């Protein structure tokens, strides 16, 4: 009996937890702020000690899976966008888990894609996904995650990508000005520097300077809300630039992978844009690849609206692991 299973989706800002009590059935979903806990183990302990979790688990959790916004190579995990650092094996022993699987968060998210229904995504342009073709994935939040799925004779194989750190490529004069502004602070301006929560602030400051205005001291969520509410012209321009840049990045990923199975967009920012993305220049920039415009025009883009897709992916990964053990 391998249930209940503990799932954790760890980002640079929040740690999301759930119990899988039977295949595909989640309970006791909680979101904890990473900044409130000195280390990952403290957050896990706080979650597992809650009355709701004790009741749902019967006090017995032997198997766990963690999706984390970080490369996972070997036993030691040092987060890129947060200070947490931990040993996988030491954490397993600390909580008396029989198994503890730790994977990159976008590896888990990628494994969720074939299981998502039409009710869990919103399509933005393109036609029908081509069965048996590669699928691309990216998502902006505290950072910029990139992954994908490659079909094989043994199911889907997720890509362990760090594609968010590719160099940012401007496509017009305004984006050149944004890049030049960013170069004053960073030797290497990656796509993640701009297509992320901190990136919204950087774009805001760059556009204020570009327009000869004084930038206010506001955080990314306020920039996002002011732009959506049309309360600030610069904030509105930030969102327009963000969507354009995202379109270029998504198109690059589509042609790189040959992702005729579609491009999926997750993360915390894009789902909050609502229909702003569809009304922006995103789709035009996605298809703006010269001789490959027609090729890209057929590829659908899906925004993931499911609140906890990484848990679906962790369920798939652990189910696959269990099947291999049973075989």
Considering the domain architecture, whether residues 141 and 37 belong to the same structural domain is answered as: no
Using one digit for the tens of pLDDT, what is the confidence trace for 266-285? 999 999 999 999 999 999 99
Considering the domain architecture, whether residues 93 and 240 belong to the same structural domain is answered as: no
Range of the domain at 31: 5-110+308-326
- Which CATH number covers residue 259? 3.40.367.20
**Which residue in the block uniquely carries the two structure tokens 């652990």?**
318
The partner residues of 139 in beta bridges, in order of sequence, read 145, 266
Considering the domain architecture, whether residues 319 and 270 belong to the same structural domain is answered as: no
pLDDT at site 75:
97
Using one digit for the tens of pLDDT, what is the confidence trace for 202-218? 999 999 999 999 999 99
Using one digit for the tens of pLDDT, what is the confidence trace for 171-210? 999 999 999 999 999 999 999 999 999 999 999 999 999 9
**Residue 47 CA neighbour count, 13 Å, CB half:** 28
Q: What is the pTM of this model?
A: 0.91
**How many CB atoms sit inside 10 A of residue 52's CB?**
13
Using one digit for the tens of pLDDT, what is the confidence trace for 16-68? 999 999 998 999 999 999 999 999 999 999 999 999 999 988 888 999 999 99
pLDDT at site 9:
97
Considering the domain architecture, whether residues 132 and 182 belong to the same structural domain is answered as: yes
pLDDT at site 327:
61
Considering the domain architecture, whether residues 277 and 140 belong to the same structural domain is answered as: yes
Using one digit for the tens of pLDDT, what is the confidence trace for 141-154? 989 999 999 998 87
- Which CATH number covers residue 53? 3.30.420.40
Considering the domain architecture, whether residues 183 and 50 belong to the same structural domain is answered as: no
Q: How far is CA 159 from CA 133, 139, 150, 293, in A?
A: 14, 14, 8, 25
Considering the domain architecture, whether residues 312 and 274 belong to the same structural domain is answered as: no
Considering the domain architecture, whether residues 298 and 321 belong to the same structural domain is answered as: no
CA distance 140 to 280: 17
Considering the domain architecture, whether residues 154 and 91 belong to the same structural domain is answered as: no
Confidence of residue 294 (pLDDT cuts 50, 70, 90): very high
Using one digit for the tens of pLDDT, what is the confidence trace for 115-174? 999 999 999 999 999 999 999 999 999 899 999 999 988 789 999 888 999 999 999 999
Query: What is the tally of structural domains in the chain?
Result: 2
CA distance 225 to 276: 12
Considering the domain architecture, whether residues 154 and 95 belong to the same structural domain is answered as: no
Considering the domain architecture, whether residues 59 and 203 belong to the same structural domain is answered as: no
Considering the domain architecture, whether residues 178 and 234 belong to the same structural domain is answered as: yes
Average model confidence (pLDDT) for the chain?
Answer: 94
């Amino acid at each position: 009996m391998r249930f209940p299973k503990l799932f954790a989706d760890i980002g640079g800002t929040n740690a999301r937890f759930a119990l899988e009590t039977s295949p595909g059935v989640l309970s006791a979903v909680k979101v904890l702020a990473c900044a409130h806990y000195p280390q990952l183990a403290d957050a896990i302990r706080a979650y597992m000690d809650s009355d709701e979790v004790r009741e749902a688990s019967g006090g017995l959790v032997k198997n766990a899976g963690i999706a984390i916004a970080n490369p996972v190579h070997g036993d030691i995990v040092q987060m890129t966008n947060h200070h947490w650092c931990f040993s996988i094996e030491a954490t397993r022993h600390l909580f008396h888990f029989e198994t503890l699987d730790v994977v990159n968060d976008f590896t888990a998210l990628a494994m969720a894609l074939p299981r998502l229904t039409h009710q869990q995504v919103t399509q933005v342009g393109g036609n029908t996904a081509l069965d048996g073709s590669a699928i691309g994935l990216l998502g902006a939040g505290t950072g910029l995650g990139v992954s994908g799925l490659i079909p094989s004779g043994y199911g889907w194989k997720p890509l362990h990508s760090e594609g968010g750190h590719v160099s940012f490529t401007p496509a017009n004069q305004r984006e050149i000005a944004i890049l030049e502004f960013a170069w004053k602070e960073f030797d290497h301006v990656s796509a993640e520097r701009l297509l992320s929560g901190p990136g919204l602030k950087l774009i805001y400051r760059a556009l204020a300077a570009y327009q000869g205005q004084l930038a206010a001291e506001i955080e990314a969520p306020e920039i996002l809300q002011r732009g959506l509410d049309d309360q600030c012209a610069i904030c509105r321009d930030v969102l327009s630039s963000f969507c354009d840049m995202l379109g270029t990045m998504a198109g690059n990923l589509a042609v790189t992978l040959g992702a005729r199975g579609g491009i999926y967009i997750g993360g915390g920012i894009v789902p909050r844009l609502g229909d702003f993305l569809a009304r922006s220049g995103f789709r035009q920039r996605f298809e703006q690849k010269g001789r490959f415009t027609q090729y890209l025009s057929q590829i659908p883009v899906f925004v993931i609206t499911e609140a906890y897709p990484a848990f679906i992916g962790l369920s798939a990964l652990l189910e696959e692991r269990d099947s291999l053990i049973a075989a």
